[in-house]
Structure 1
Amino acid sequence: MEAFEVKGAAIVLAGGRGSRMGGVDKPTLEVEERSMRASVLSAARSALGEGAPLVLVGERGADVQGIGAVCVREEPPFSGPVAGLARGLAELERLGSTDEVVLVLGGDMPWLEPRVLGALVHACAEAPRKVAGAVDAGGRRQFLCAAWPRAVLARALSHLAGEGGGGSLVGASAKSLYRALGELTPEPVQAEWLDVGTLAGASGLAPALVARSLSDIDSPEQLEQARSRR
């Protein structure tokens, strides 16, 4: 597998209730004979290399065995993406990880390309005080497809958990974590949003492949369409 030069870690969020999918754990659903969360973890593994720490915030399962990810759950369970990120970051610290860049990924992107993740990691490493996030082909910011400076992620989580964020991470949205960037002191932090064209140029992939890579599955209809693709 091809690894990129920048040292990094990844947190993959896959601990939701599956309310949009009729109560089924969405990231465990298969697209092209593989669970979506396994596809995301494998993309992160290829992008970061064999020794990189990967944390899956979700249930253990046979579908993710052999990828080398550590599985944990947020407390309390089903308390949202920000609580999941806090749990994932705590696990990276427990593992002794000192990686300067952390990929923050949702577990519902079955076509995620390692080179797209590598481009995000490089963009973050080149501007260490900025978050590098992806924008999909429809112009939608993918809050859970981004590379974060580790220290910035820790500060944003701390801000939300403290007085600035109301004192609790339970139920906080991923968007609120980005909003917190502008509230950090003594100096706010910016997010740099990279569109399909920019990521295509940085990764060397065709724009159509990058656009597909940034597609996520949010509904039973989208899942059916994804499974019908050839």
Structure 2
Amino acid sequence: MPSHLQAEYTALFLQDTNAVHISSVSGTKNYAFPPSILEVNSLESVTITFSRLEGSLPQHLDSCFRSLHTLNLSANALTGSIPDGIGNLVALQTLDLCDNYFSGNIPGHCLARLKRLKRLNFAGNHLTGIVPAELASMSQLISLRLEGNRLSGCIPTIWSSSLEEVSLSRNNLAGTIPPALIALPMLKWLEVDCWHFDSVNLPNETRLVECLRAELRNPSDATSNILGFGIENSDTDFDSFFLEIRPNLTLSLCSVHA
């Protein structure tokens, strides 16, 4: 383990043996995933971001991280596939591997075992294959971010009603955007590209307001909830429309140019 990180890890362990949090490691050299972390079986949270980690993740994370509820390794230089063993981290609630160089398919059949998972972020990688239907139907999932990959195929037609944020843009998805996705009762943000899709069936404005009304528990305190989605429209040069519902539940429509 790099000596300049060793002291920082030691200090963190002395303060709290359940968590590791390291961010913004300076220098030009990359480092492998630190094996010493795997020796701390009591860890509940591991956050190592902007820290120049490279190489692949250990295949057997599940043997060490049984109590882990947060794994955030975003903004590094990690490569290889997402290990199937992540699906055995049954306590996991947040999994963030965004802005790395992971490749291969998303192991949906393994991730489906994460019954407590609320936030999943694989954005900004080199992932291929389809959006697994297993992810779309995870009952506790609030946020699913897969934008900026190389995913293809169709968007799943069945989605969990708990979802508040879904981002699928900057991929190669095609077909249609399912009406059931747009009409999810808790949805605040939906981001997709428009130019690959054949059609978009939108709920009417009244229905859209009703979908988001339940989420504004206290409209006087809310700032702004935005639902954005791509619409293919050959008569305009717009690539996306965004619907914005403000605290008074009025609806505004604005355009975004390419």
Q: Which has the larger radius of gyration?
A: 2
For normalisation by structure 1, the TM-score amounts to 0.23
Q: Considering fraction of residues, name the structure with more helix.
A: 1
Greater RCO, 1 or 2 (C-alpha within 8 Å, sep 6+) = 1
